[in-house]
Chain A
């Protein structure tokens, strides 16, 4: 079943290479996305599949799988109208790359072997590079080159980290293996220095992919130049997948009884990400680059939450869902605004609310959601992390967290309000809100709103089971 889920997008991807009809090719995306989500729902709610040393689902991967699949479906519907609008650019590369991207992310999420995980994450880098290069101009090629080079080097370091972990298992007499379950079982006997070095390299490697500061430098360029739906998928989906890879490393450290080292590293990187995001978000005149820094910020929050542990881990996992869906809403509506004004720079984007009441309104609401205004989901998850900080008796970090969130709120608010409020200067182009360009972000935002008001019991259990996996087992 899980294998079918991984292979599912590949068939339409192959089909899209030979189909001669433009519109039909675009519709392959939502069709595949819907089938994918349907299968995911079956898998997530169903009984645990037969254990397999290579692929499998635990609470953490169920969570990320659900989020990624949901986000992909939304972006897939958006893509239909988006690609129809940009016929000059074509969809012969976009559609198959998006589908293979979905397959690679699914494989990365369900991998139970570090090597397989590595291969899948590297594949996501390679198939997303053409997506970033969609606009085929100077800026997008620069962004693509930086993305490709930095993420490839990062992922090479993760490979080294994986090898260090494998080396730490060599002394045990048994032949070493990189199967996660085997490593978790053997963890107490692993050679400590190698394990620790391995963790650092895994953190740096997958942290590059996730965009934790100071390894985030590809992010503003890539998110700024990629089409909106690609930005949404990278910021909500791929970063969650990379985070899951880091969580696997944390799991091994926890099983080895060394989780405090892992946590300190995560708290450090998390705080640094928040600080850097705050610095660059103030007076950011480019709305998509601003969203990229917001993504750096929220990756920092995730790392911080898991780094504190306990209740904060629960909050971080909840925040993963909220961040992915809200980022989806923000990127997609920012894309609409960029189409309407033919710019994403504040010097030209004014009064988005009056020109595009729906997209502009959703963008504004998405901004309120992502900065943690009640009653949206991120408020609840950030508040849970804050409670976790106090529960863990880290008041200084809690204070820093609050101050940084406030600075980011003000910085981001200045840009968003300037873009949405006021009168539109010149008569903008012929762009109008269309159903498929507005409905997906609207639904994502409604989901986030729902999560802020009510946390369904099965989801709560899933989050708790996930958080439990990251605790020290006694």
Chain B
């Protein structure tokens, strides 16, 4: 099974780079959807088929792979934007930073005191790299919707780490986490719509009236 895992995680990391380098919002959201759907397979490939891992996988697939991306795509359609113009830092430099972050994640994961059974796989470095990618997107993009995408990628990274522990986390908590994620995106979607109505753009740079 560990081969399957590695393939999934490598694709996940490639998708990280894709979102960092892409200027098209629809493509970014589709990439996040694909990433979420792939991650949803991990509980089953890591822990094997059981009721617990199956439910977790299904929940993650429905939310991360289908429903949330659908919400975001609908939001873009409503506010009629297609492209992430003018990120705060250019696409190539962000991509470069992303590469650096990924390398750092691999180096760092090597030094972590991991349990024997986790030392070989890509789970931990992939998780760290994905989280850092999410952070990069959050910090370097102006559009509120790309920031939501960044938040989703950050959550995806945390989800990968969570797979290591899904024995420690009872289903109730996992369900709560997924549900909260859904509601968070939902609320963000509503706010996004209001921003759009109020400012006629969802550029967060306009959100700068409040400062010292």
Contacts and interface: CB of A to CB of B under 8 A. Distances in A.
Closest 9 CB pairs of A and B: A115-B173, A119-B176, A176-B168, A142-B207, A166-B168, A122-B180, A221-B210, A166-B165, A193-B113
Interface in A238-266: none
Interface in B83-142: 112-113, 115, 131, 138
B198 A159 contact: no
Contacts of B204: 145
17 contacts: A115-B169, A116-B176, A118-B176, A119-B173, A119-B179, A119-B180, A122-B180, A148-B184, A149-B138, A149-B188, A152-B151, A152-B188, A153-B138, A160-B161, A176-B167, A194-B113, A224-B210
Given A166-B169, A171-B115, A156 B158 contact: yes
Nearest to A150: B138
Given A113-B173, A153-B154, A170 B165 contact: yes
A221 B207 CA distance: 11
Nearest to A193: B113
User: By DSSP majority rule, is chain B's interface helix, strand, loop, or mixed?
Assistant: helix
B183 interface: yes
A138 B209 contact: yes
Interface in A61-108: none
A167 interface: yes
Interface string B201-212: 000100111101
B154 A176 contact: no
Contacts of B199: 138
A126 interface: yes
B176 A170 contact: no
A107 B20 CA distance: 38
B7 interface: no
A235 interface: no
Given A153-B154, A160-B131, A148 B210 contact: no
Interface in A149-178: 149, 152-153, 156, 159-160, 163, 166-167, 169-171, 175-178
Given A145-B195, A152-B184, 4 more contacts: A118-B176, A145-B144, A148-B187, A156-B151
A27 interface: no
Contacts of B165: 163, 166-167, 170, 176
A421 interface: no
Nearest to A116: B173
Contacts of B168: 166, 169-170, 175-178
Nearest to B179: A119
Contact of B151 (A115, A129, A153): A153
Nearest to B188: A148
Interface residues of A, number: 47
Contacts of A280: 212
* Contact size range, B: 35 or more
Contact of B210 (A125, A143, A176): A143
B147 interface: yes
A45 interface: no
Interface of B: 112-113, 115, 131, 138, 144, 147, 151, 154-155, 158, 161-162, 164-165, 167-170, 172-173, 176-177, 179-180, 183-184, 187-188, 191, 194-195, 198-199, 204, 207-210, 212
A373 B208 CA distance: 36
Contacts of A338: none
Contacts of A118: 173, 176-177
Contacts of B172: 115-116
Contacts, number: 114
Question: Which of A118, A146, A159 has the most chain B CB atoms inside 10 A of its CB?
Answer: A159
A271 B151 CA distance: 30
A177 B167 CA distance: 8
A160 B154 CA distance: 10
Contacts of B155: 156
A379 interface: no
B194 A159 contact: no
A191 B113 contact: yes
B20 to A, nearest CB: 17
B210 A133 contact: no
Contacts of A170: 115, 165, 168
A142 B209 contact: yes
B187 A129 contact: yes
A413 B205 CA distance: 34
B191 A141 contact: yes
A50 interface: no
A297 interface: no
Contact of A129 (B138, B173, B191, B198): B191
B191 A139 contact: no
Contacts of B158: 156, 159-160, 163
B72 to A, nearest CB: 15
Contacts of B180: 119, 122-123, 126
Contacts of A136: 194
Nearest to A125: B184
Contacts of B113: 191, 193-194
B184 A122 contact: yes
A411 to B, nearest CB: 13
Contacts of A193: 112-113
Contacts of A167: 164-165
A474 interface: no
A225 interface: yes
